[in-house]
Amino acid sequence: MSLFLVTKIKPLTVITIMLCVQIVFCQQQVQDSSKYIEQKVDSIVKLMTLDEKIGQMNQYVEFWKSTDPIPTEGEAKKKYNQVKRGLIGAVLNVKGATEVRKLQELAVYESRLGIPLLFGADVIHGYQTQFPIPLAEASSWDLSVIEKSARIAAIEASAAGLNWTFAPMVDISRDARWGRVMEGAGEDPHLGSAIANARVKGFQGDNLSFNNTIAACAKHFAGYGFAEAGRDYNTVDVGTSTLYNVILPPFKSAVDQNVQTFMTSYNILNGIPTTGDATLLRQILKQKWQFRGFVVSDWGSGEQMVDHGFAKNKAQAAELSANAGLDMDMESYIFINHLKQAVKNNSVRIEVVNEAVRRILRVKYKLGLFDDPFQYCDNDREKTMIGHEDHEKFALELAKKSIVLLKNKQNILPIDKKQKKIALIGPLADDKDNPLGNWRAQAKKNSAVSVLEGLRKYTNDLNFQKGVDFVSGTPEFGDKLDINMTNKTGFREAIQLAKNSDIVIMVLGEHALQSGESRSRAKLGLPGLQQQLLEAIFEVNTNIVLVLMNGRPLTLTWADEHVPAILEAWHLGSQSGNAIAQVLFGDHNPGGKLTMTFPRSVGQIPIYYNHYNTGRPGPLETVLYSRYTDESKEPLYPFGHGLSYTSFAYSDLKIDSTDNDNIKVSVTVKNIGEMGGEEITQVYICDISASVTRPVKELKGFSKFFYEPNESRKLEFIITDKELGFYNNLGKFVVEPGEFEIMVGTSSQKFLSEKFIKKK
Ligand code: NOJ
């Protein structure tokens, strides 16, 4: 869908003509360079032994520090020698210009063919400067800032020697129990596709051979976000319609943006581990979508095919995954240990190996590694670019745009700058570490600006009490969390402070390690004793602003019923406290909107806006319709919800379907409040009857603009077959004539609507 702002028409014809000339010129260059790369790649493959080829398909985690002596025994020695023998194609988690150079020198100067290594890592929402977690960033619905966030992450990561990130994670998920929702863009395939595209563009930049761009990786292919019961690594069993219309689109969008690598997932998808799924990897990704990069497994997912009951042993896992289209094995050792024998047995043809190696070398060429293997190892760039002050400034802008105002009864927010006697309460209020979120790459411990620090810039009439500690110790990535369920000793002082204050800001939520990999939760309330603290404070002072820091939607039914203002601040990264303070005191008007539905109860999950109607949607006079006996079926906060300190009025929705291939939808949006603010306008469609049932609504477009008070804009969206069609149960894209409803509004539940007939 394209959006035109009718009030600001540009000389379109001229722009189009210029664009054509550029495209022809660029395409010529692309063809020349890809021909050159193919020739180069072919010439290297011809020189390689089978061992060296399989070596390229092999990725290990960090095994030796350049500051340590050269390993003389054990695994480290073995791997050190493997690099020298050209038996490793890539490593992960080796970082720092000096470290990387040392290992790269070993590969380039001491191996027979001198093929450079790839250096990968999980650079998910920043390298040292931390941006908001991806789910938070997505709440900005702002593709240019999301792209810039990935761009800066790449600038910092590449300055530290890395040339490959395992991001973006483009898994759609409808299940807040799944801890990895923090790494994605939420529940919607349209928005998810746009964000996937923006993130790939940001990481890879305009030219992958520049020293500040890195290869991106669309992960986890596919279906990982649909783990049963939200339990990480669990079974995924979905129908064709969900697979094609919901799960695959963001991956396709990444391919369209020329993403260089794909990562398989840990789950089985309809009975087959994705690491060994030829339909996914060969048929869909490599043939249908014409993906030219390479596919890496997830950590150990190759050998896990044995646990899945798909391969009888590791040797067969190697054979099955190579034949299915896996090009590189991360940390399973199945290729390095078994692929040679498989080729000798002819159970894996040499052409399969050659193709995988070609794909890997092609990416190395595109990264410029064959021209200068050390271009990412520049100590000066590392010193100046990592944590650059401009990056921090941008982190603040993005953090502000990621905040979602969930509730604001009687406009309790923004807080008056002259407000006296403010109480700040909660375990996350002075926290400088948890706001950095999970998957924080090289963020320095305790480097985030806390809410306490942010608020101090506005007022001194502020007192702080933690109230409760909810996690003891300082757990690391893979550690268990020890949640405090008994110690309430801090309650008394916090209650006393609340009693003596005019307004209470409470900062509650999740520890950074409560979301992320293997951090599924069966209960989605405020962890530990935080809910009890909230209720105890409410008893003495109802004037509460609840600031939430979390990595996923939570069940906040009590808070929604009692607390007048709720601000969803997620884990916002390095500038967290400054962003929250600016929003609380009205220096920034919040404009973010949810990209994942907030349930009322865990029992409603999976809950998502683009559901089907059922045959008995109700309500009926009897109880015999689709409902719960003990809970509403409505979400607490729907997809697309987010308030502002101002309000927007929608009027004049018109549909012009004269040109049936380009249906024009127009609407007028006006800021009718007293403060300037951003509004995200959302366009949904519903195909009222179709050969395969369609959801009650599907997002197909959106726009985001800043509106001064009283300013109005007429927005026009063009809807084409791309938006009106869908994938049927054979995976074929079809467009069916008939009646459609168009809904345009401020959230998935507040909109104007009109119908039209699609002819032909
Ligand atoms: C496992 C995770 O699932 C994946 O997302 C990550 O990229 C790899 N580990 C490497 O750290």
How far apart are the C-alpha atoms of 54 and 333, rounded to whole Å? 11
Nearest to 190 by CA among 612, 719, 623: 719
pTM, two decimal places: 0.96
- State the pLDDT at residue 32: 59
How far apart are the C-alpha atoms of 335 and 338, rounded to whole Å? 5
- State the pLDDT at residue 470: 87
R_g of the chain computed on alpha carbons? 27
Residue whose entry in the numeric block shows the structure tokens 């008394």: 492
Q: H helices then E strands: how many in the chain?
A: 22, 28
- State the pLDDT at residue 29: 53
CB 84 within 8 A of CB 111: yes
Residues in the chain predicted with pLDDT less than 70, given as ranges, are: 1-32
CA of 354 to the centre of ligand 1 (A): 26
CA of 300 to the centre of ligand 1 (A): 9
State which ligand 1 atom lies nearest to the alpha carbon of 219: 5
298 belongs to the catalytic site = yes
Query: Which residues contact ligand 1 via a Cβ below 6 A?
Result: 122, 166, 219, 298-299, 517
State which ligand 1 atom lies nearest to the alpha carbon of 169: 5
Residue nearest atom 1 in ligand 1 by C-alpha distance: 299
Beta strands in 672-750 (DSSP E): 677-687, 698-707, 712-719, 726-727, 733-734, 738-745
Backbone angles phi and psi of 565, in degrees to 5: -135, 135
Nearest to 155 by CA among 113, 109, 203: 203
Backbone angles phi and psi of 377, in degrees to 5: -110, 70
- State the pLDDT at residue 34: 84
CA of 596 to the centre of ligand 1 (A): 23
CA of 534 to the centre of ligand 1 (A): 36
How far apart are the C-alpha atoms of 216 and 262, rounded to whole Å? 8
- State the pLDDT at residue 26: 43
Q: Which of 298, 327, 431, 433 is catalytic?
A: 298
State which ligand 1 atom lies nearest to the alpha carbon of 166: 7
How far apart are the C-alpha atoms of 181 and 568, rounded to whole Å? 15
Using one digit for the tens of pLDDT, what is the confidence trace for 668-705? 999 999 999 999 999 999 999 999 999 999 999 999 99
For a mutational test of ligand 1's pocket, the pick from 266, 439, 517, i.e. the residue with the most ligand atoms closer than 8 A to its C-beta, is 517
